[in-house]
Structure 1
Amino acid sequence: MKVVLFIIALLSSLLFGSCNSEPTLQKYFVENTENKDFIALDISSNILNVDKTKLTVAQSEALHSFDKMNVLAFKLNEKNKAQFETERAKVNLILKDPKYQQLMKFGSGKQGASVSYVGTDDNINEFVFFANKNDAGFAVVRVLGKDMNPTNIMNMISVLKESKIDLEQLKPLQELIKK
């Protein structure tokens, strides 16, 4: 009986103790996907519309390492300025977590952009682009993949140059960009 109670206590502590209550970008995306002030998009690698038979081996490997992009954009208007400041602060706080290693940042804290990544230099799982503008809103883009590395990213740029991007998938963002 004591052994059974011990096992139940151990399993309970593992199940409930492993729940992480810290904010993450993934949780932030899930929480705000249905919010009327946000535009949420999931973009697959199919958006690139590339003839895979014309890719080099390196380009094919780069394309294979890319899974999808998640885009979450907050559209600023006269009624949601306070919420804009709150939401932008939440994203900044999440990106201060040491797991998000910042590659570059430009502009000021109130207006600008940053690029961060999750993983190691040779095995990147996620790139995060965060851009915000005081008079338009902000956008967070998560580029998800497997075994991405700097070489793959450079090769992916060459794939982008040859692609015929399906702009129909990006239509919801056009309104935000126009500002």
Structure 2
Amino acid sequence: MQRTINQLICTLFAIAILVSCSSGVSLQTYFVDKQEAKNFISQDVPLSMMKIDQTNFTEAQKDAYNSVSKLNFLGYKADENNAEALKVEIDIVKTILSDAKYNDLVEFSDKGRKILVKYIGTNEEADEVIIFGSSNELGFAVVRVLGNNMSPDKMVNLVGAIQKAGVDESQLNDIMNFFK
């Protein structure tokens, strides 16, 4: 009898573990699966390595900047031969980002380019911020912003500040050249 109970408990424990493991694709597994694939580029960029002029940042912007530790970048290059594959890959990323764990932050379009910003976490603290940009001419890019004590509101404020700040574009040459 004791042996049967032990087997039943072990079986229930194994089932619980298997059920708790998601069979769906996560953004992290998508990054890993595609980092070496054709037409993709992948880079991890510690924010400390980027030279960003912070002289005009407010204290809130500096706090937001300092809460970011690294950026994971994954890009897909479009060309005349892979238009259908581009649509498939964009649909995969959109499906992943449609999961309820991703909260909407900002979405906008400009000159045929679509930008979507989402985050995982609460309104007070984001565990991860995701920036997804796509263009039929260029392809798409997904950036995972990782750090500690990130706030969604501060991240929106930080994006605006970085756009105005002097960023040494030579740091992004590998990525920019990939899309040419």
Query: Which TM-score applies when normalising by structure 1?
Result: 0.80
Measured at CA, do residues 151 and 105 of structure 1 come closer, stay the same or move farther in structure 2, by a change above 3 Å?
A: closer
Task: Return the offset for 1:134.
Answer: 0.9
Q: Contact 1:48–1:163 at 8 Å: present in 2 too? A: no
Letter in 2 for 1:103: L
The answer to whether the Cα contact below 8 Å between 2:124 and 2:151 also exists between their aligned partners in 1 is yes
Pairwise mapping of residues 29-178 of structure 1 onto structure 2 (< 5 A)?
A: 29-49=31-51, 61-107=63-109, 111-150=113-152, 152-153=154-155, 154=157, 165=168, 167-168=170-171, 170-178=172-180
- Residue 83 of structure 1 aligns to a residue whose secondary structure is helix
Matched residue count: 174
Q: TM-score, normalised by structure 2?
A: 0.80
Q: What is the alpha-carbon root mean square deviation over aligned residues?
A: 2.9
Aligned mates of 1:160, 1:135 — CA distance in 2:
23
Contact 1:66-1:144 within 8 A present in 2 as well: yes
Whole-angstrom CA distance in 1 between matches of 2:69 and 2:38: 27
The percentage of counterpart residues that share the same residue type is 33
Offset of residue 164 of structure 1:
6.5
Q: Is the contact between residue 62 and residue 156 of structure 1 (CA under 8 Å) also seen in structure 2? A: no
Could you tell me how far 1:35 is from its partner in structure 2?
A: 0.3
Q: Are the counterparts in 2 of residues 65 and 152 from structure 1 also a CA contact under 8 Å?
A: no
Give the Cα–Cα distance (whole angstroms) in 1 for the partners of residues 159 and 86 of structure 2.
Answer: 33
Structure 2 unaligned regions, length at least 5 = none
Q: Measured at CA, do residues 131 and 166 of structure 1 come closer, stay the same or move farther in structure 2, by a change above 3 Å?
A: closer
